[in-house]
Structure formats: structure tokens, C-alpha cells
Amino acid sequence: MEEFDIVIIGAGVVGLAVASELAQSTVNKSILVLEKADSFGRETSSRNSEVIHGGMYYPAGTLKADLCVKGRRLLYELCAKQKIPCKKIGKLIIAVEDKELADLEGIHRQGKLNSVEGLKMISGTELKKMEPNLNGISALLSEETGIIDSHRLMEYFLQSSKDKGVTVAYNCEVVGIDKINSSYKIMAKNMDETLEINSTVVINCAGLDSDIIAKLAGIDLKKNKYELHYCKGQYFRVATGKAKLLNHLAYPVPKPKSAGLGVHATLDLGGGLRLGPDDKYLHDRIKDYLFDESKKIEFYTSAVKFMPFIKEQDLSPDTSGIRPKLQEESGEYRDFVVKEESDKGLPGFVNLIGIESPGLTACPAIAEYVKGLLR
């Protein structure tokens, strides 16, 4: 049986951020990252909009609000210091109908409560000056929103972890967790063999499988409301050349209790433009990334309301992703779960469950928060 002080399950952006933070802040601690895929960031971390969010959507005092705002600041500092590609491009949330104005103003107020900098309500006339090719009667400008190369960010976290002695093991699927006295025995399947690892600290950063890992540790998912609901989102690529008609990220006003922020326009660092994601709850645990091209008309209809330069024939399939949501379909808002589970008889076991958006933005702040839980 191999011995480690800390085992992190999952090598997505959050797991790698946690590994990097703990490696730099803990002395003489052995750290192992277990990842069931053949490389890092294969699921949610590489199938998203790559947006650095402002933090104005989430209820004040929640982890999503606090860690998004703090994480954004840390992320820009990290990108500048480590030369990770990012761009503070700004974002517009656009109202196209009078009935959306109250919700738009509500997002502005929420942002102020969350201490989000660089927020400004602008009129339709001001919007036209900033973005001549967009339609809207009013908009909320978020100057601090940006875009990032998430792959390069993960590469940085991975390398900084390895430089400090962290071991990363791919193709290792955790299939069992037993608490034995003051430590945990972790069983991980690797090809045709099962590895046994002993550790006093286990950090569950398993993304789409994080509730399954919690269950392996003996936690009642239903009782603790830890059950995940898969929510799929697709992206369509917009024809080359259309990106130059847009200077900011462009978002609609989200519908109350919706699973996402609405089909929006995201520019990337390569000069491309995408629409998406939409949101469709999956009613099983199959990771279905198959692309449904019949959604094109829905995307076009949503986008053309505020982006009249978009034509249906401009859209081509890009990619799809799955969000690990704690919020049920049409259900109430759910916050991140980032919790040390001593009260469940599992000291040193930390669960990170439901880390969807703004998880990418929040990842450095999540890592610091986890470090604080282990003190």
C-alpha cells in the first residue's frame, strides 16, 4: 500500500489549482492527484466558455459570489505574473424588451452587493456607440469580465504542482474509499490492477463524479442534498469574419430559475466567435457529448434578437459540455459545496461538489478556501 499525506481526486482546473496551492503552502507533505482519464481537464474544464466572470449573478454571501469575485482578482494577477493568455475584454448583458429591464437592474444591484467592480448601466444609445452591430434598449456593462486560455492555466497549475513534488497519476479511477482509524484507504483501478493508497487527507475534486466519490466515502447523498444533475450545453461556431463585428462578450438577460446564463456570444483569444451554451438536463448519468445540430434554429433565434448580424447559415457545430449541477431542473438556486466533513465522522475528507460556473474563475480562491479548511 502506498502512503501519501494528501490525495486529491480529479485533475480538472479545480483539482490542479488545489494541488498547486497546497504544494506551495505545505512543507514536507506528500501529495497525489488521481485522475481517471488519460490526461488532465478532459471534462468540464475543457468544455466551457473560458470566461473570467465578474460575479454579479450570485446571491450575496454565497460561495459562488465570494469565491468568484476573489478568484477573478487572483486569476488576473496570476495570468500577469505567469504570462498565461487572458484578456479583460468586458461584457454586456443586453435587454431587448421592456419586461427585461427590472431583471437587468436586479443583476446590477446584486453585483454592487457582491462588491463587483466596473459595473455600469448604459442606455440603448450608449450601447449603439459601444457596439454599433448590437440591438438593445439598455445594457449592463461589466468591465472586469474577460476571457482566458483555460488549457494554459491548467498546464501552469500542473507544472507548478510537479515542481513542488506532487505526483499525478492518470488512468486511475477511484472505486472505493474506506475510513480506517485516522486515515483513508483509497482503492483506484488502473488498467487491470487495483491500487491501494493510504492518506490522512482526501480532497474530492471529481467534478461530474464528485457525488459518486462522496457516496464511496459513506455519505448519504439524498440526506445531504449532494446529488448531482447533469445539464448539457452546446456551442455553435460563428462564421469567420463575424467576430470583428463585436468588441465585448454579449449576453442576454437570463430568465429566472434558468440553468444557465442564456445563449451568449463569446469571443476567444484566437479571434473566433461562439454562441452558447444552451441548457438541457439529462435524465441519466451518461456523459452524452453527441452534438444535436437540429438546435441551430433555436440558437439563431435566441442570438439574432440582440445580434442582428448573425445569419442562420453562419452557425456550425463546435462542441458540447456537461455541467455538474446541484440545482434541479426548474429548482431553486444551489451554492457550491466546499466542505470538510468532520461532522459526518470523516475528518480530513473535503468535498467539492457542484463546481460548475463560475468554477473556472473561482479556482484560485477555491484552492485557498480548501487550504483554510485543512488548518
Q: What is the pTM of this model?
A: 0.97
Average pLDDT over residues 212-219: 99
- pLDDT confidence bin for 234, thresholds 50/70/90: very high
Shared-domain flag, residues 235 and 321? yes
Shared-domain flag, residues 242 and 320? yes
pLDDT score at 147: 99
CB-based contact 96:136 (threshold 8 Å): yes
Shared-domain flag, residues 270 and 246? yes
Question: What 3-state DSSP class applies to 365?
Answer: helix
pLDDT score at 261: 86
- pLDDT confidence bin for 255, thresholds 50/70/90: confident
- pLDDT confidence bin for 1, thresholds 50/70/90: confident
Domain count, the chain: 2
Per-residue pLDDT at 257 exceeds 80? no
Which of 67, 68, 86, 66 lies closest to 76, judged by CA? 86
List pLDDT tens digits, range 29-72.
Answer: 999 999 999 999 999 999 999 999 999 999 999 999 999 999 99
Shared-domain flag, residues 319 and 233? yes
Average pLDDT over residues 129-135: 98
Cα distance between residue 320 and residue 280, in whole Å: 11
User: Cell digits for 134?
Assistant: 448590437
Shared-domain flag, residues 211 and 349? yes
Q: How large a percentage of the chain has pLDDT more than 70?
A: 100
172-181 contacts, C-beta under 8 A, 24 or more apart? 172/34, 172/35, 172/36, 173/36, 174/9, 174/34, 174/36, 174/206, 174/213, 174/216, 175/216, 176/216, 177/202, 177/213, 177/216, 177/217, 177/218, 179/217, 179/218, 179/345, 179/346
Shared-domain flag, residues 242 and 363? no
Cα distance between residue 208 and residue 138, in whole Å: 37
- pLDDT confidence bin for 258, thresholds 50/70/90: confident
List pLDDT tens digits, range 184-214.
Answer: 999 999 989 999 999 999 999 999 999 999 9
List pLDDT tens digits, range 64-117.
Answer: 999 999 999 999 999 999 999 999 999 999 999 999 999 999 999 999 999 999
Per-residue pLDDT at 25 exceeds 80? yes
Domain that residue 253 falls in: 91-143+229-325
Q: How large a percentage of the chain has pLDDT more than 90?
A: 95
Question: What 3-state DSSP class applies to 356?
Answer: coil
Shared-domain flag, residues 233 and 321? yes
Shared-domain flag, residues 163 and 264? no
Average pLDDT over residues 259-286: 93
Cα distance between residue 361 and residue 43, in whole Å: 16
- Mean pLDDT for the chain overall: 97
Q: What is the CATH number of the domain that holds 168?
A: 3.50.50.60
User: Cell digits for 1?
Assistant: 500500500
List pLDDT tens digits, range 304-326.
Answer: 999 999 999 999 999 999 999 99
Cα distance between residue 102 and residue 28, in whole Å: 54
